[in-house]
């Protein structure tokens, strides 16, 4: 967007930070959508602290996500994930990148909806698969056919992610552009909602 269309990048970030009035900004979406990497850039634009729920869980457990899945199982990971997110949502002025399964949990979703502004970073199967194939740090994809697993997760989860306040496509463009699109989508969303009588 040009300066004349929507102000400078800094101006728009400042406007958004002010409209958010301290509310946490929460990124949801599939593995590989860019929640962690785009989230970090978004936080820096908004002058907010960036927190990744997976990193918080790893730090608390002193184990990596694959180790937690292996040694404690998915159910325990999910319970820890919910506790961590509930705690983090009490913080002000944060950008929180969640793990892909977090928003699928009804209790976590209800809390995010009540306490935060949520963004679904959405990407197509091909894009996601290419990105997640770069690293083998996602235990849910350690299956005989990871692409089919990803496809099934997409089918199950997309209707749920669609409950987020805004949806932004995470295409293979520079991550700063995706961060800029998030700022634009949120400004539009907040303007539309705050202008309602």
Ligand X SMILES: O=C(O)C1=C[C@@H](OP(=O)(O)O)[C@@H](O)[C@H](O)C1
Of the pair 39, 190, the CB lying nearest ligand ADP is at: 39
Alpha helices (H) along 47-174: 53-61, 65-72, 74-88, 106-115, 125-132, 146-161
Tokens matching residue 75: 């159910």
Select from ligand ADP, Mg ion, ligand X, none the partner in contact with residue 37, using the beta carbon and a kind-dependent cut-off of 5 to 8 Å: ligand ADP
Which residue is nearest to Mg ion, using beta carbons?
36
Minimum CB–partner distance for residue 191 and ligand ADP (Å): 25
Select from ligand ADP, ligand X, Mg ion, none the partner in contact with residue 108, using the beta carbon and a kind-dependent cut-off of 5 to 8 Å: none
Among 24, 34, 39, 101, binds ligand X (CB under 6 A): 101
Question: Which residues, other chains included, contact 137 with Cβ-Cβ below 8 Å and sequence gap of 6+?
Answer: 64, 65, 66
Stretch that binds ligand ADP, among 33-41, 68-76, 104-112, 157-165 (CB under 6 A): 33-41
How far is Cα 99 from Cα 29, in angstroms, rounded to an integer?
8
Among 24, 34, 101, 180, binds ligand ADP (CB under 6 A): 34
Torsion over CA: 92, 97, 98, 103 (sign): positive
How far is Cα 140 from Cα 75, in angstroms, rounded to an integer?
13
Report the interface residues with ligand ADP, using CB under 6 A.
31-38, 97, 131, 134, 170, 172-173, 175, 178
Under the rule (CB under 5 A), what is the footprint of Mg ion?
Answer: 35-36
């Amino acid at each position: 967007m040009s300066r004349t269309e929507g102000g400078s990048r800094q101006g728009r970030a400042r406007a958004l930070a002010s409209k958010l009035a301290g509310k946490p900004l929460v990124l949801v979406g599939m593995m590989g959508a860019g929640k962690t990497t785009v989230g970090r850039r978004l936080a820096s634009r908004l002058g907010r602290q960036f927190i990744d729920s997976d990193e918080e869980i790893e730090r608390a457990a002193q184990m990596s996500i694959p180790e937690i899945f292996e040694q404690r199982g998915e159910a325990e990971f999910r319970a820890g994930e919910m506790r961590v997110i509930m705690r983090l949502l009490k913080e002000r002025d944060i950008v929180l990148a969640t793990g892909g399964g977090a928003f699928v949990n009804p209790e976590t979703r209800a809390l995010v909806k009540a306490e935060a502004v949520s963004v679904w970073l959405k990407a197509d199967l091909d894009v996601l698969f290419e990105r997640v194939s770069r690293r083998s740090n996602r235990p849910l994809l350690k299956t005989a056919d990871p692409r089919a697993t990803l496809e099934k997760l997409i089918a199950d989860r997309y209707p749920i992610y669609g409950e987020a306040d805004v949806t932004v496509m995470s295409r293979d463009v520079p991550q700063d552009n995706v961060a800029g699109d998030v700022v634009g989508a949120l400004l539009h969303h907040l303007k539309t909602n705050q202008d309602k009588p």
